[in-house]
């Protein structure tokens, strides 16, 4: 899968996804300091799933209706990167085909999907 990892994402999370064979463009490497609009536009223009821990992206696509390909919002309170990576791997394995066109909020136990194309 193709991702854009927001700057707030841990580098070890990015490394883990890359190690799994995913194409991850990491904002911290590509364009550090980019604002949320630019990151969202980058992900949408390249049809990449935006991976973030920043709730502001949800507001941009839900309330302001900015275009997005897909967003995965990590709401895992643990500072343990391995727990985040484990949940992401589960999401990709179980629901990867549902990611495009969705805003997905994942926590320690569940994933909530919201369509980015519907009402």
Asked if 113 and 104 count as a contact pair (C-beta separation under 8 A), the reply is yes
Provide the domain count of the chain.
1
| Domain CATH code at residue 17 | 3.40.50
pLDDT in tens, 12-29: 999 999 999 999 999 999
Which stretches in the chain have pLDDT values below 70? 78, 118-119
**Alpha carbon of residue 85 to chain centroid:** 12
Average pLDDT over the chain, rounded to an integer: 93
Query: For residue 119, what pLDDT is reported?
Result: 56
* Residue span of the structural domain in which 57 resides: 2-115
Parallel/antiparallel/unpaired status of strands 70-74 and 102-106: parallel
Query: For residue 118, what pLDDT is reported?
Result: 62
Query: Strand runs (DSSP E) across 1-119, as ranges?
Result: 2-5, 23-26, 49-52, 70-74, 102-106, 111-115
């Amino acid at each position: 899968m193709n991702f854009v990892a927001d700057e707030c994402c841990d580098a070890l999370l990015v490394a883990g996804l890359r190690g799994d064979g995913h194409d991850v463009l990491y904002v911290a490497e590509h364009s550090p300091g980019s604002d949320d609009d630019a990151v969202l536009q980058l992900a949408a223009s390249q049809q990449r799933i935006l991976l973030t821990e920043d709730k502001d992206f949800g507001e941009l696509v839900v309330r302001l209706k900015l275009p997005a390909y897909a967003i995965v919002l990590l709401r895992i309170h643990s500072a343990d990167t391995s727990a985040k990576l484990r949940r992401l791997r589960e999401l990709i394995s179980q629901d990867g085909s549902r990611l495009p066109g969705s805003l997905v909020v994942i926590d320690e136990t569940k994933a909530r999907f919201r369509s980015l194309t519907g009402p």
